Amino acid sequence: MSKKILVTGGTGYIGSHTVVELIQEGFEVVIIDDLSNSQVEVVDRIADITGVKPGFEQFNLCDEGLLSDFFQRHNDIVGVIHFAAFKAVGESVTKPLKYYRNNLVSLMNVLESLDHLSLKNVVFSSSCTVYGQPDNLPVTENAPLKPAESPYGNTKKVCEEILLDACSADIDLNVISLRYFNPVGAHESALIGELPKGKPNNLMPFITQTGAGILPELSVFGDDYDTEDGTAIRDYVHVVDLAKAHIAAVKHLLNISSDNNYQHYNIGTGNGYSVLDLIKSFERHTGQKLPYKIVGRRAGDIEKIYAGTALANERLNWSAKLELDEMVSSAWKWQKTLKN
């Protein structure tokens, strides 16, 4: 049987780390990415790490014709890992239609194109944002989904609904949605990592760019939350651990024997860390003070969330291995490589 996997958004942050893990597990990988938030050089960096250059095609998944042509040429694909999406929470609040059009249409086009394949397996890049501000922590997969705090979060919720409905209509379609918590860190080689275009939207690159002197100071969005130090709490998971969760999901789909053709899993560490916890970890690791200032809360942010991961631990045989300091140190190593 073919071992070819399509990774949409495969030159992005999480996508590139997942491509590395796939290749190291013996899969053949082809990437589709429009490079709207990544760089084509990542393909060569993946090859430097693995010794294998993945296939790569540049186009936007909203182009139905190009996508249909792609699947006709690659009709031996056995699974799709779908990362491609716009993902900046703040921008989604100010440009909601941009997010709905891109994130929903791209997924629907992928699902419709799967009719070209004999095997229809999809791992979907979902998010803990589907839980909103949960009533109980740690949040488990049984928690009710709440109205999203941002259009970005709502696209993940709606995409999950689309996938569930598609699975109900097609028993040959098998889907696992992975609800990520907060990915951070970089590959140990420091050849790939998080590289946002323009000003960062996520906390870790904001910290490392501030530490490197690229940004004058870090903005901490709110210190009046009902948490121990007043700053928001998240479950930060190392991107390599997160990538390995996708490998576990693909293997599970390829060996699936369950009647349940739609499954969803939390992917996190089960630990909650505040914004100030990350700042302190950075300062411990680097020995330098990080300049920061407290500013107002950011639209779309929730107060605190961290994962219950027992289901993924048990059914996918996956668990996070890397600790917070390893997340911070790998991100800093990556940042210093960029600076040099």
The CA distance from 20 to 29, in Å, is 9
Q: Which residues are 4's β-sheet partners?
A: 28, 77
Is 152 one of the catalytic residues?
yes
Write out the DSSP string of 9-57. TTTSHHHHHHHHHHHHTT-EEEEE---SSS-THHHHHHHHHHS-PPEEE
Does residue 138 have a cis peptide bond before it, meaning omega lies within 30 degrees of 0?
yes
Residues 6+ apart with CB under 8 A from 169: none
* Interatomic CA distance for residues 304 and 155, integer angstroms: 21
DSSP H stretches of helix in 170-231? 203-211
Q: 13, 99, 131, 152: which is the annotated catalytic residue?
A: 152
- Cβ atoms of residues 22 and 247 within 8 Å: yes
Q: Please report, to the nearest 10 degrees, the dihedral formed by the alpha carbons of residues 29, 34, 39, 44 taken in order.
A: 30
CA dist 38 and 261 (Å) reads: 32
Query: Using an 8 Å Cβ cutoff, are 89 and 147 in contact?
Result: no
Q: Measured between alpha carbons, how far is 118 from 95 in angstroms, rounded to an integer? A: 38
User: Within 13 A of 197's CA, how many CA atoms are on the CB side?
Assistant: 8
Check if the beta carbon of residue 174 is closer than 8 Å to that of residue 7: no
What are the tokens at 185? 């860190």
Q: DSSP letter for 304, please.
A: B
What one-character-per-residue DSSP string does 121-143 give?
Answer: EEEEEEEGGGG-S-SSSSB-TTS
- Catalytic center residues: 152
